[in-house]
Structure 1
Amino acid sequence: MPVMDGSKSARAQTLPQSNLRGALWVLLSALAFSVSMALVKFMGEGYPPPMQVFIRQLIGLLVLVPFILRDPVQAFATNRLGLFVVRAIATSLSMMLAFASYQQLPLAEANALSFTRTLWMVPLAILMLGERVGMLRFLATLAGFGGVLLVIQPKGSEGVALLPALYGLAAAMLLAFSVTGIKALSRSHGQLQLLSWAGVFGVLFALPAAIPVWRLPSVHDGLLLLAMGVTGAIAQFCYIRGLSMGDATVLAPVDYSRIIMTSLLGLVIFHELPPSTTWLGVAIIVGGAVLITWHSQRYRERVADAALDREI
């Protein structure tokens, strides 16, 4: 009978508890994200995406200020400033396109398109990181984009508008590019450095787009915009916290609880009821994304175990 070495045994014993904690953080992130996007849509008529993105980025940076002030030199230490700039541009554009998509599409359908981020990471990994993609990931990606066609297909007078749907897909692609950049930067930078540069550049790149459409909000609207920014910052913090604790294959399905939350908010606040084809498309997109995540995580675990076996 095979005997599990101490390192693998300890890892196996700590996973269930850490996965539970991680899942709770990701669930909180999903809830905060859903509320934030509902507020983005609710405020969309009077406050365009560039203005909302600037407020969101500014609040996120202000939350970081106390942590940055503890050691500002370390917070901004880097030798890869160019990659930070490129990633920040991609992130800012992604947020503006995503906000436009959420404002113009039903919440559930806009949220479904955001899930294509995982699908976009497959071709980006090939182009940017030179990764080799097996048949399973390739087929899962194709199936996922097939689900996208079901979500955005014309449905008579109540069909999904093509341009906002393209906004959502482009936002997901840019976010996947940003995540790929994070993978490269995280090899030599800590979490505070990543967030600090993202916060500063996020504000700088959002400001020029926000100035032409800026309007002074009323007290009521200002409180709602503040809530949008705070819940967005909470969502980001909880998501990063959760991923640092648990297994990606366990946490990814928890993150997809967003589709239930946004659908309920869409029904209650905006009286939106997605058709059956949307739910079928969502199921295919989520299934493809979960399969890709599971396959990628299994591959990393096999590589890690093989390296550990060689050391032993």
Structure 2
Amino acid sequence: MGTSNSWFYWACLSAIFAAFTAIFAKIGIRNVDSDFATLIRTAIILVVLIGFVSFAGKMSNPATLPAKTWLFLILSGLATGASWVCYFRALQIGDASKVAPVDKMSLVFVAIFAFVFLEERPSSQEWLGIVLVSAGVLVLASKR
């Protein structure tokens, strides 16, 4: 796979790891508060990422980042934290096979927000795919 398609490889790996996240989290939060479980998960992620970035030699001085970069990384971090808290709460009270598909509605929202804020213009075929994903999520979430 060429570099122009390497994003697809990483996105597929992300999807696989996200699926394991749902399964492992559902099992792991059986006897613990979902917010506390999110804290533990976040601490583990922090330690792993510090090790990864250090080992890969990618550590740099955060003070050299522009203010706009800081602002949007902070906003992204806050959104991620809110997403994780909501996701773990939903997993604790709902079926993983229902929660995970609804969580993937994020791709529909990304397409809409990218259209509004980033001026991305999906093709008619891509909009059709987004509508089909929405329909699929609704079908999966409503199963009895």
TM-score (norm. length: structure 2): 0.73
State percent identity of aligned pairs: 17
Q: Which has the larger radius of gyration?
A: 1
Q: Where in structure 2 are the equivalents of 1:1-312 lying within 5 Å? A: 11=2, 29=17, 32-43=20-31, 46-47=32-33, 49-67=34-52, 74=60, 76=62, 77-79=64-66, 80-153=69-142, 275=144
Deviations 1:236-266 (A, max 9, x none): xxxxxxxxxxxxxxxxxxxxxxxxxxxxxxx
1:73, distance to aligned residue in structure 2 (A): 6.3
1:134, distance to aligned residue in structure 2 (A): 2.1
Give the direction of change, closer, same or farther, for the CA distance of 1:23–1:57 in structure 2 (3 Å limit): closer
Distance in 2 of aligned mates of 1:26 and 1:72: 21
The AA in structure 1 aligned to 2:48 is V
Give the direction of change, closer, same or farther, for the CA distance of 1:140–1:37 in structure 2 (3 Å limit): same
Contact 1:101 1:110 in 2 (8 A): yes
Q: SS at 1:125's partner residue?
A: helix
Compare relative contact order (CA 8 Å, sep 6+) and give the higher one, 1 or 2. Answer: 1
Which 5+ residue runs of structure 1 have no aligned equivalent?
A: 1-9, 154-273, 276-312
Count of residue correspondences: 138
TM-score (norm. length: structure 1): 0.37
Contact 2:29 2:92 in 1 (8 A): yes
Give the direction of change, closer, same or farther, for the CA distance of 1:151–1:50 in structure 2 (3 Å limit): same
Deviations 1:127-148 (A, max 9, x none): 1201122222222222322233
Q: SS at 1:144's partner residue?
A: helix
Deviations 1:159-189 (A, max 9, x none): xxxxxxxxxxxxxxxxxxxxxxxxxxxxxxx
Deviations 1:194-221 (A, max 9, x none): xxxxxxxxxxxxxxxxxxxxxxxxxxxx
Give the direction of change, closer, same or farther, for the CA distance of 1:135–1:56 in structure 2 (3 Å limit): same
Distance in 1 of aligned mates of 2:138 and 2:11: 30
The AA in structure 2 aligned to 1:60 is I
